[in-house]
């Protein structure tokens, strides 16, 4: 029997995962990528001796990545080295409290003077609660690929769906049921950074995020996170995946069977039996298949974009002891920060700021006695009603640097050797993400209960989506899992 052809549009982690998984299912796979690198938002820049990871900074659930290698009889450790990060995170608050999250609950309480035995008991109770959220999501989203709320009824005891998912509450509601310490509340709520949503509007099932980090640990990729992309590219080439870089899909040709051809920017057309789009559904329907606006609008309403980011990649000529590998400088009011992000449509006067200093774990990434400081406050995604000028971003840069210098990064401006800044516009242009979002679809209790765009297209039966805007969701592990799941869906379709 001849191999069927599968074309993957976009070589991000979801596209690479789908390609590797389809190769295992005996498909002839071609990946078309408009940029000159693979890995999508997992990107890299090198300047003045510094190696900057431009995208994701945290690896969790490495077993999901390992599965891609294992399915082809290979071992991930032969391709890339990972090591655990200690501590997981540092949290710095306006009252000068510093709270470090360690790899266990007991160590977290023991190592922080501001925490007590009562805090440990509360954390342990919250952990048991969060584990239920993970077990629920694992069964309905990870194992059985539920794509919509009603699908959960097929795979989970209907009498337990409401209590086990805490269906009627938000993430913040779930945290406050168990945790009284306000700093720990802010810390646990900030796990929502993995998906770029608000804990005050995301469904309570998002409390699986702290459980995942404690259960599966938090990891750094030696030599930079981009080495993970290189490892997957190497594996993909070994198993026969063909790549076309600097090549962009501009439109499709249609038939009764669905999509039978992709028209490229160089004027050529490539035929296909199956299309997997690592490009998000809404931009795909806008730019590639060019659907009527009336067909796209329901997707906009149900699956709005997650937060974007104002990202500064700084190389500095000194080190800062106040920083851990991952540090969060919290806003005075967490609620005000998220309101500015999702409701006021403005760049916050007091953002919570996520800072990555990877040389704390990996000195090879820059010159001796220097520091890489990646600064990432979330900002609103772009829309027809919401946009920001360069002057807005310049002013926001000063707001962010003022806060960092005030909260411990003394004279940071004076020590910057090199700087590269990405805005929502940069992100949108580079990856065609909806509104310049970083994490795909917004997890929102009222709009979608945390469900994303279904992987199989409603309009074309041989078109499938992978990535952070589709199920099971945002973050590197879920994106990679989406690629593995799509291969299973395609295999079932062609049985």
For every residue of 59-81, which 3-state class applies, written as one string? ECCHHHHHHHHHCCCCCHHHCCC
Domain shared by 255 and 198, yes or no: no
Q: Which pLDDT value is given to residue 494?
A: 67
Domain shared by 116 and 169, yes or no: yes
Domain shared by 36 and 136, yes or no: no
CB 59, CB 228: distance < 8 Å? yes
Q: Which pLDDT value is given to residue 2?
A: 75
Q: Which pLDDT value is given to residue 3?
A: 87
Domain assignment present for 307: no
Domain shared by 110 and 181, yes or no: yes
Average pLDDT, the chain: 96
Tell me the residue range of the domain where 137 lies.
Answer: 106-217
Domain assignment present for 233: yes
Q: Which pLDDT value is given to residue 414?
A: 98
Domain assignment present for 330: no
Domain shared by 123 and 173, yes or no: yes
Largest CA-CA distance found in the chain, in angstroms, rounded: 68
Q: Which two tokens stand for residue 168?
A: 């009627």
From 165, 190, 217, give the residue that closes a domain: 217
Q: Which pLDDT value is given to residue 160?
A: 93
Question: Which stretches of the chain drop beneath a pLDDT of 70?
Answer: 1, 494-495
Grouping H, G, I as helix, E, B as strand and the rest as coil, residue 40 is coil
From 217, 252, 280, give the residue that closes a domain: 217
* CA 457 to each of CA 10, 40, 207, 304: distance values in angstroms, whole numbers, following the listed order: 17, 22, 29, 17
Domain shared by 117 and 178, yes or no: yes
Q: Which pLDDT value is given to residue 110?
A: 97
Q: Which pLDDT value is given to residue 223?
A: 96
In whole angstroms, give the CA distance from residue 163 to residue 138.
Answer: 16
Domain assignment present for 458: yes
Query: What's the CATH number where 164 sits?
Result: 1.10.405
* CA 123 to each of CA 120, 166, 181: distance values in angstroms, whole numbers, following the listed order: 5, 18, 10
Domain shared by 203 and 123, yes or no: yes
Domain assignment present for 174: yes
Domain assignment present for 193: yes
Q: Which pLDDT value is given to residue 425?
A: 96
Domain shared by 158 and 56, yes or no: no
Domain assignment present for 120: yes
Domain shared by 35 and 75, yes or no: yes
What contacts 30, CB < 8 A, 6 or more positions away?
A: 5, 6, 7, 8, 241, 242, 243, 244, 270
Domain shared by 141 and 48, yes or no: no
Query: What's the CATH number where 64 sits?
Result: 3.50.50.60
Strand partners, 258: 255
Count of the separate structural domains present in the chain: 2
pTM of the model: 0.96
Domain shared by 36 and 22, yes or no: yes
Domain shared by 69 and 119, yes or no: no
Domain assignment present for 322: no
From 217, 240, 275, give the residue that closes a domain: 217
CB 322, CB 211: distance < 8 Å? no
Q: What are phi and psi of 117, to 5 degrees?
A: -60, -35
């Amino acid at each position: 029997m001849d191999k069927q052809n599968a074309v993957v549009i976009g070589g991000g982690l979801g596209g690479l995962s789908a390609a590797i998984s389809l190769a295992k299912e005996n498909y002839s796979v071609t990946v078309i990528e408009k940029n000159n690198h693979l890995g999508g938002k997992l990107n890299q820049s090198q300047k003045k001796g510094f190696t900057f990871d431009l995208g994701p900074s945290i690896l969790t659930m490495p077993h999901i990545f390992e599965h891609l290698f294992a399915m082809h009889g290979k071992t991930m450790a032969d391709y890339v080295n990972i090591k655990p990060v200690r501590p997981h995170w540092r949290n710095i608050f306006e009252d000068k409290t510093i709270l470090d999250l360690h790899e266990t609950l007991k160590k977290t309480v023991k190592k922080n003077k501001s925490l007590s035995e009562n805090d440990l008991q509360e954390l342990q109770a919250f952990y048991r609660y969060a584990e239920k959220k993970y077990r629920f999501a694992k069964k309905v989203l990870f194992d059985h690929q539920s794509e919509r709320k009603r699908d959960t009824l097929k795979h989970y005891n209907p009498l337990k769906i409401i209590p086990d998912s805490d269906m009627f509450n938000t993430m913040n509601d779930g945290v406050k049921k168990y945790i009284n310490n306000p700093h720990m509340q802010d810390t646990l709520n900030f796990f929502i950074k993995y998906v770029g949503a608000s804990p005050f509007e995301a469904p309570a099932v998002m409390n699986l995020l702290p459980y995942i980090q404690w259960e599966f640990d938090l990891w750094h990729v030696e030599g930079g996170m981009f080495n993970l992309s290189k490892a997957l590219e190497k594996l993909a080439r070994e198993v026969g995946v063909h790549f076309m870089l600097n090549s962009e899909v501009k439109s499709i040709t249609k038939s009764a069977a669905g999509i039978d051809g992709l028209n490229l920017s160089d004027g050529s057309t490539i035929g296909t039996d199956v299309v997997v789009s690592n490009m998000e559904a809404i931009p795909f329907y806008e730019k590639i298949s060019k659907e009527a606006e009336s067909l796209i609008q329901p997707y906009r309403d149900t699956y709005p974009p997650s937060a974007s980011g104002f990202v500064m990649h700084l190389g500095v000529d000194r080190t800062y002891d106040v920083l851990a590998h991952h540090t969060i400088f919290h806003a005075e009011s967490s609620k005000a920060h998220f309101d500015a992000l999702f409701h006021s449509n403005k760049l916050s006067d007091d953002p919570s700021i996520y800072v990555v200093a990877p040389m704390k774990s990996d000195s090879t990434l820059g010159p001796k006695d220097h520091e890489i400081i990646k600064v990432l406050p979330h900002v609103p995604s772009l829309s027809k009603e919401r946009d920001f000028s360069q002057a807005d971003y310049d002013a926001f840069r000063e707001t962010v640097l003022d806060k960092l210098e005030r909260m411990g990064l003394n004279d940071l401006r004076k020590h910057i050797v090199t700087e590269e800044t990405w805005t929502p516009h940069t992100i949108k242009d580079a990856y065609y993400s909806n509104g310049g979002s970083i994490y795909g679809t917004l997890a929102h209790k009222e709009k979608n209960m945390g469900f994303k765009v279904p992987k199989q297209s409603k309009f074309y039966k041989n078109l499938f989506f992978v990535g952070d805007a589709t199920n099971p969701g945002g973050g590197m592990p879920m994106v990679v899992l989406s690629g593995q799941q799509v291969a299973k869906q395609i295999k079932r379709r062609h049985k």
